[in-house]
Amino acid sequence: MYDRGHYEEHAGLLQPKLPAIFRHYEVRKTDQDNFLHWHEGIEIFYGMGGVGWVFCDGLGFALTKGTAVIINSGQLHRAQTESDCLEYEYLILEPPLWKEAGVEAELWFSCQRKNGDEDMKRLMEAAVRLRESDEKYGWLALKGVLLQIMAHLLEAYTLPEPGCGRENGGHRMEDKGRHRMQAALAFLKTHYREPLTVENVSRQAGYSPSHFSRQFREMAGMTLTEYINMLRCDGVRRMLLTENCSIQQAAEACGFSNMAHFYRMYRRFVGHLPSVEAKAGQR
């Protein structure tokens, strides 16, 4: 069973009878949105502005206005912006919606089509318009569009078997390997405040330290040490915004023992000094 500490859950379905999550999102360079996570549902990233990447099982897919990236169930992924702000819609089609549509077989889709996808663009933009509609039964029309999107995925993105077309995200990490990495990520999420080494984190995944370090960097796009520092900085940021504590108290509580090192890491991963959050938390 996945540890809910790092399995990303999104509260609030569109409607009780419409098991999907559909929202607009913006990522800025200073945002802490680089954490690997996964879902049970099939997720679609649809670019609305800016330039960025979606990293999925170690591969990167460009996300720009009008492009789509598909994330399969259980795939480890994260979004990253290259511009000042990356805007996108994310749509998560939950398993009950597929079951209701009569699709219960295990699904595996290509993450992206090389030559773009005008049909997906048309459907996603129609879905956005209906989501913003205040008509009483607009959600019912939206459900119809979501079903069309599902049909389009089945027709245009389904792979003959997992592992085909690695360059388009058709590769599939072995389930055992993915579960091992998920166990390590869940461990990091709950233990990042403690002293950590590659040895004790790799032990959670059942890998040797050298193998784990290579695979983690491939998956996360950064070293284990960088990822831990990013988690710690995010913990400090949240503490300063929500708790009555000093910068030093928050830094030490989140695992930093050297304040000079902490300030360097905070500026690197958050984009400014922690005094910004400290002042905001005092208001």
The span from the CA of 145 to the CA of 125, in Å, is 10
The stretch 202-224 carries a mean pLDDT of: 89
pLDDT at 30: 67
Q: Which residue has the higher pLDDT, 206 or 28?
A: 206
CA-based nearest residue to 79, from 40, 47, 107 = 47
Instruction: Give a yes or no: residue 265 inside a domain.
Output: yes
Instruction: Give a yes or no: residue 1 inside a domain.
Output: no
Q: Do 232 and 148 belong to one domain? A: no
Residue 11 confidence class, pLDDT cut points 50, 70, 90: low
Residue 154 confidence class, pLDDT cut points 50, 70, 90: very high
Count Cα atoms within 13 angstroms, Cβ side, for 18: 21
Q: Do 38 and 82 belong to one domain? A: yes
Q: Do 180 and 159 belong to one domain? A: no
Q: Give yes or no for residue 165 having a pLDDT over 60.
A: no
Instruction: Give a yes or no: residue 12 inside a domain.
Output: no
Instruction: Give a yes or no: residue 113 inside a domain.
Output: yes
The span from the CA of 185 to the CA of 191, in Å, is 10
CA-based nearest residue to 112, from 43, 21, 212, 39 = 43
Instruction: Give a yes or no: residue 110 inside a domain.
Output: yes
Domain of residue 47, CATH code: 2.60.120.280
Q: What is the 3-state secondary structure (H, E, C) of 216-253?
A: HHHHHCCCHHHHHHHHHHHHHHHHHHHCCCCHHHHHHH
Q: Do 113 and 235 belong to one domain? A: no
Q: Give yes or no for residue 17 having a pLDDT over 90.
A: no
pLDDT at 7: 43
Q: Do 244 and 274 belong to one domain? A: yes
DSSP conformation class of 43? E
Phi and psi based region of residue 74 (left: phi greater than 0; alpha: psi -120 to 50; beta: remaining): left
The 10s digit of each residue's pLDDT in 46-98 is: 999 999 999 888 788 999 999 999 999 888 888 889 998 999 999 999 999 99
Among the candidates 136, 168, 200, a domain finishes at 168
The span from the CA of 262 to the CA of 239, in Å, is 15
Instruction: Give a yes or no: residue 8 inside a domain.
Output: no
Among the candidates 114, 143, 168, a domain finishes at 168
pLDDT at 208: 94
Q: Which residue has the tokens 């990233």?
A: 45
The stretch 187-213 carries a mean pLDDT of: 94
pLDDT at 55: 87
**Sheet containing 20-28: order of strands:** 20-28, 85-93, 42-49, 68-71
- Does residue 154 contact residue 101 with C-beta atoms inside 8 Å? no
Q: Do 62 and 118 belong to one domain? A: yes
Q: Do 122 and 180 belong to one domain? A: no
Q: Which residue has the higher pLDDT, 260 or 167?
A: 260
The structural domain count of the chain equals: 2
Q: Do 198 and 247 belong to one domain? A: yes
Residue range of the domain that includes 222: 175-282
pLDDT at 153: 96
Among the candidates 118, 143, 168, a domain finishes at 168
pLDDT at 137: 85
Domain of residue 205, CATH code: 1.10.10.60
pLDDT at 166: 47
Residue 163: helix, strand or coil by DSSP?
coil
pLDDT at 31: 67
The stretch 137-142 carries a mean pLDDT of: 89
The 10s digit of each residue's pLDDT in 91-136 is: 999 999 999 999 977 788 999 987 889 999 999 999 999 998 888 8
* pTM (2 d.p.): 0.76
The span from the CA of 200 to the CA of 209, in Å, is 9
Q: Give yes or no for residue 39 having a pLDDT over 70.
A: yes
Q: Do 258 and 216 belong to one domain? A: yes
Residue 2 confidence class, pLDDT cut points 50, 70, 90: very low
- Does residue 276 contact residue 267 with C-beta atoms inside 8 Å? no
Q: Do 106 and 61 belong to one domain? A: yes
**Sheet containing 59-64: order of strands:** 59-64, 51-56, 77-81
The stretch 26-41 carries a mean pLDDT of: 78
Q: What share of the chain is helix, strand, coil (3-state, %, to 5)?
A: 45, 20, 35
Residue 179 confidence class, pLDDT cut points 50, 70, 90: confident
Q: Do 148 and 255 belong to one domain? A: no
Q: Do 200 and 163 belong to one domain? A: no
The 10s digit of each residue's pLDDT in 216-272 is: 888 787 899 999 999 999 999 999 999 989 999 999 999 999 999 999 999 988 888
Q: Give yes or no for residue 164 having a pLDDT over 70.
A: no
Instruction: Give a yes or no: residue 135 inside a domain.
Output: yes
- Does residue 72 contact residue 108 with C-beta atoms inside 8 Å? yes
The span from the CA of 220 to the CA of 192, in Å, is 16
Instruction: Give a yes or no: residue 9 inside a domain.
Output: no
